[in-house]
Structure 1
Amino acid sequence: MFAGSIVALITPMDIKGSICCSSLRKLINYHISSGTSAIVSVGTTGESATLSHEEHGNVVMKTLELANGKISVIAGTGSNDTAEAISLTKRFEDSGVIGCLSVTPYYNRPTQEGLYRHFKAIANSTDLPQILYNVPSRTGCDMLPETIARLAKIKNIIGIKEASGNLSRISQINNLISSDFILMSGDDITALDFMRLGGTGVISVTANIAAKEMVQLCQLASQKKFTQAYKLNQRLMYLHKALFCESNPIAVKWAAKKIGLIKNDNLRLPMTELALSKQSIVEQALIKAGLQ
């Protein structure tokens, strides 16, 4: 459940900005049929920053309902307010989620001790498995390997989504933790190298629109068939990069609409639609990936 290709699912919206349940159903069925290992519901890619607390909970619960036990669901529960992160986490107790993904606090830039106490407080409030999420480029906050090692000693902190793009972090973390702590990439561009160096999989943006390909990539990596894996990854590399030509999830929503997975590529302000000048970049990446 915490290995292979896990999708950081987009949250589809209608033209009025409300959650589009028909598109959400289509996305979930797409991932079930593609063999995606699990769904992260309402993470960064799911626009957690612009959903209300009530909407956040509703989207996760609707995802669970539509998944109907056919694919595992991980709830995004991160916040830069420890009390809010605890509240979100407790909202999903006994809901059916297999765990929670909790991002490092953004904007207020806590110290390493602050990070440790933040995640310890969340973990101590629940029995749900907790996955740490380190993405310094988005949060302005980098959780160091020594802090991760301290947190790994807490029973229900089971792993980390490491999205720094710094591959040396894998050996640094592995040297400090036990072998059962889960290391997952959060960066599609370096994910294959991450898995080659010992990671168990990727929580992927690209999987939103290339689900079967990302499943295959992770399978090849787990089987240590790296010649084939690198060949496939080269075809996807343009896509990995193009999906971040503007802030995530602007480009991936446009791409999902382009290939017919969602009805609209609407986002909540301050996020805006993909610029016309960038649309050809994403379209060419879809063609090179064999998706158009």
Structure 2
Amino acid sequence: MPYTKQIDRRAPGCFIFLLDQSDSMNYPIAGRPGISKAQALADIVNDTLAMIIRRCSKERGEGPRPYYDIAVLGYSGQEARSLFTGALAGQWLVSVPDLFSCVLRREERHGSSMPVWFEPFGAGLTPMCAALDMAGSLASGWAQSHQDSFPPIIINITDGAATDGEPEKVQMWADRLRSLRTADGNLLLFNISISAVAQTTTTFPAAESELSDEWARGLFRMSSELPPLMRTAAERLGVQTRPGARGFVSNATPDAIVLALTVGTQVAQVDA
């Protein structure tokens, strides 16, 4: 059965986050008055990186183990680029220990001092095809050299349609991504749409008929079906899923983004 490989130092996992950084991300996010979509997204993904690092820290006084390679790409204007700066500037995929040792700065959030690796940004257009292309290059190379690992997971978070290709072209890139594989299964592609207007959030739908507009239905078609371990993780968090549920969230609030990232990064790991 695919998607059963456990993560360890010999068979690490791979997470690639794609963050829309177009101009519309400067507008407020639904459910958080006074907070822009760009700021909310930066906070949530920085917190997610910290959560992943905590998962990899097993012994007191020991640094995190290299259980994952991680990329965080921002896309705006005409390009996709790595959001890592400082000592990680120019790098695309970095290991958890390198991420742990290269925090940009720390800030008070959630009543604690939280690490920050990248800052919020929003300007220009939405080159989603460029982002999917770059993610494909990274995931393809990683999968070829990690055939014994759980397949790469790509999570795309956006508030609008691609400006560098028609829907058919975006779907083509998504299909190419989902065709990449390791011995444990095909790459998993998640999509999360966020909004400035309070609307009904749809989490992990199983059919296009559950969605109200064609843009959301297009993102649904791009997304991978949730493997059993992720459906189980969703249900533990209170989200009931049906067979065929896909890794897509429509009109996501900040809380829904956090939930989707928690489920989307849920991979079994062992202390090795």
More helix by share: 1
TM-score category of the 2 structures, normalised to the smaller one:
0.3 to 0.5
**TM-score, scaled to structure 1:** 0.34
Considering fraction of residues, name the structure with more strand.
2
